[in-house]
Amino acid sequence: MKTPSRDLWKLIQSMTISEKGYFMKFARRHIKDKDNNYIKLFTVINQQADEYDENQIKDKFKREKFIRQLTSAKNYLYNMILKSLVSYNDDKTTDSVLSNLKTQYTILFRKTLFEQAEVILNRAKKIASDADRFSKLADILQDQRNFDYRKIGEQGFEKYIDDSIAAQLEILNKQKNIAEYNALYLKLSSLFKKIGIARNRNDIRLFEKIIKHPLMKNESLALSVSAKNLFYIINYLYYYCTSDIQKAFEFSIKRLELIESNQGKISGGIKEYLYSLSDAIAMSYNLKRFDLCISYLRKQREISDKNDVSSAVPNHLEMYCKSYSFELNIFIISGFFKEGLNVVDEVVHWLKKYNERINKSEELKVIYTIAYLYFGAGDLSRSLVWLNKILNDNSDYRQDYKAFARILNLIIHYELENYDLLEYELRSAKRFLIKKDKLYPYEDVILATFRKLPAIAEKKEKLFHLGLLKDQIGKIIKDSNDYMAIEYFDIISWIDSKLLSKNFSEIIKSHSKIKLSDLKPD
């Protein structure tokens, strides 16, 4: 249950090591309590890594006076932490640096310290120009007019004014250029949300109408780094929507390289960098460039770890979680289950660290993927442990994974010859599938087959029924074009492993043709 105490605990646990160190210094400066009970309280809560425990706090500070007003102390500490975080993040971005410089030269100008004020103004102008902060640069040039009047009559004044006007017009032109590209991006995004991936010629014509805009003829028409970024995003999205994955991949890489070589010049900073990596991850995955995909997703996590992205990228945990899903799934589709388990400890540690802060939908997907990996590696008991986390989840999220978790659960109990339990699990699975409207022909034939198998003694007859199930599933998939079912769990390969007396992983590897070297990032 959500409580103010847990909010305080979660806030402290979310802080980076450097933020915590800054808070300790901040608290010593701003809290005059000589014993600084707030630092003591912060330290104890920080040490409660797994769960908030108020009884431990009360026992620890039972002789301290402030414990009588613990609720007030916690509220004060919570607000003090927020203040320290605001102070910590101040002056960290180009925009905040420019805002501070503006305040400085305004104060100096009012004090008639004009030369000092102009030095600060010129410093701000250079920073804004180097970082392509055109709106800030326009404001700075506006402020510069205060100094222009003081230069009247000086030698070269006319050229100075001409240069100043040219600079202002260039900035306005670049701002207009960015605004036009942004409008094209928004129109394309709106169309994508309405249509999704183009399915017919009429859909394609709607996307083409946007991409044929004169500004999209070539990237030289994009007059700044920010405009080029939008140019690449628009092309990426267009080719993705029209199913040209190779072209979409090429533009995602162009965007990524642009951002890497111009960090600080694109509004959004780290956020844009992480989003560009997400696009590169998705496209390299779709093109089966798994070495690149793993390289990009690990880079994405590395950047997230090195930078405090919680405020800059609100959905960074979801992005991080998705990267694990991609990586683990690559090992699954390639059949290298045991190799994939080398990543699982890291994933489990991360899931534990960000418990209750992760998007539930993505969390369930990762949990299912871990269960699948253990199954493929032959560790059925560990697979069941992770499956049960899904089976016992009462949320409304990811009914698709919950449905296939029940299918995989049946297969594991069949493999373990838990036939008495299998009968119960069959009834439970059918109730769930009916209740959630997930009992399609695909699931129905699987349940029907597993209802028969425990009563069959002869191995040959069991294999006959499994072969029959394979044929039925193949026909259902062909008739309904529902190939996604195999993406959740490759039951065809599992049946083949039984029919051919081979390991499940061997069958997957024979289908995928992916080498382990293909999974090693560059």
For the chain, percent of residues with pLDDT exceeding 90: 22
What's the average model confidence in pLDDT over 333-347? 89
What's the average model confidence in pLDDT over 322-339? 88
User: Around Cβ 447, how many Cβ atoms within 10 Å?
Assistant: 17
**In the structure, how many helices (H) and strands (E) does the chain have?**
25, 0
What's the average model confidence in pLDDT over 313-337? 81
Separation of alpha carbons 40 and 45, rounded Å:
9
- pLDDT value of residue 2: 45
pLDDT tens for 273-317 read: 888 888 898 898 888 888 888 888 888 888 877 766 554 445 667
The one-letter amino acid code at 272 reads E
pLDDT tens for 391-430 read: 998 888 888 888 889 999 999 999 898 888 888 888 998 8
- pLDDT value of residue 31: 67
- pLDDT value of residue 374: 94
Please state which of the ranges 325-334, 389-398, 474-483, 502-511 shows the lowest mean pLDDT.
474-483
Are 46 and 23 in contact by the 8 Å Cβ rule? The answer is no
- Reported as a pLDDT band with limits 50, 70 and 90, residue 260 is confident
Q: What is the largest CA-CA distance in the chain?
A: 107
> What residues have CB less than 8 Å from 401, skipping those under 6 apart?
364, 365, 368, 390, 488
pLDDT tens for 180-215 read: 999 999 999 998 888 788 878 888 899 999 999 999
- pLDDT value of residue 1: 38
Tokens 């210094």, residue located? 25
Separation of alpha carbons 9 and 32, rounded Å:
23
Are 514 and 397 in contact by the 8 Å Cβ rule? The answer is no
The one-letter amino acid code at 146 reads N
pLDDT tens for 86-122 read: 777 665 567 778 788 888 888 888 888 878 888 888 8
Q: Tell me the CB-side half-sphere exposure of residue 498, using CA atoms within 13 A.
A: 19
Residue 241 confidence (pLDDT) above 80? yes
* Residue closest to 231 by CA, chosen among 219, 241, 247, 243: 219
Name the 3-class secondary structure at 482.
coil
Q: At what angle do helices 316-334 and 290-306 cross, to 10 degrees?
A: 150
- Reported as a pLDDT band with limits 50, 70 and 90, residue 389 is very high
Residue spans of the domains in the chain: they are 4-89, 94-182
Higher pLDDT, 354 or 331: 331
Mean residue pLDDT across the chain: 84
